[in-house]
Amino acid sequence: MLRSFSIALAVALGGAAIANGIYMLVAPENWYLAVPGVTTTGPFNQHFVRDIGLVFLLIGAAFLLGAVRAEARVVSWAAASVWLCGHALFHLWEVAVGICTPSALARDFPAVTFPALFGIAITLWAIAAARSSSRDLEGRAS
């Protein structure tokens, strides 16, 4: 059951990241205006929004790759989760140094912190599952 849940969560994270990335690439100014809080972080920069859109496509692809290929799961989910964690930590830093007010954390939590936490959780599950599978193979070989 945990396996199915983790894979479903990876598919959801991957699909959401890809949808966000496509939105950022196709309609960067609309994305900038539509996402709560983004306009308070600085002026619109089409190039920057599209660059980050490419990152979201990569993250989405990594989660989806891990969902369908067990041998790629740990590396692909960990890589995507590292970026998501860095993004979440950057949001915390902005509050810590006074760039944003503490209310930004609550506003950003669902779209910034939750994905990072979910990525960590499924990556840890994938590591444990890979270790268990490796031990099972070693036991059969002996």
Domain boundary assignment for the chain: 2-141
* pLDDT reading at 96 higher than 70: yes
pLDDT band (50, 70, 90) for residue 1: confident
Give me the mean pLDDT over the 84-95 stretch. 96
DSSP 3-state of 35: coil
Q: Is residue 139 scored above 90 in pLDDT?
A: no
pLDDT digits (tens, 9 = 90+) for 24-69: 999 999 999 999 999 988 899 999 999 999 999 999 999 999 999 9
Q: Does the predicted TM-score (pTM) go above 0.75?
A: yes
Distance CA 108, CA 28 (A): 19
Q: How far is CA 27 from the centre of its chain?
A: 21
Query: And the tokens for 99?
Result: 């760039």
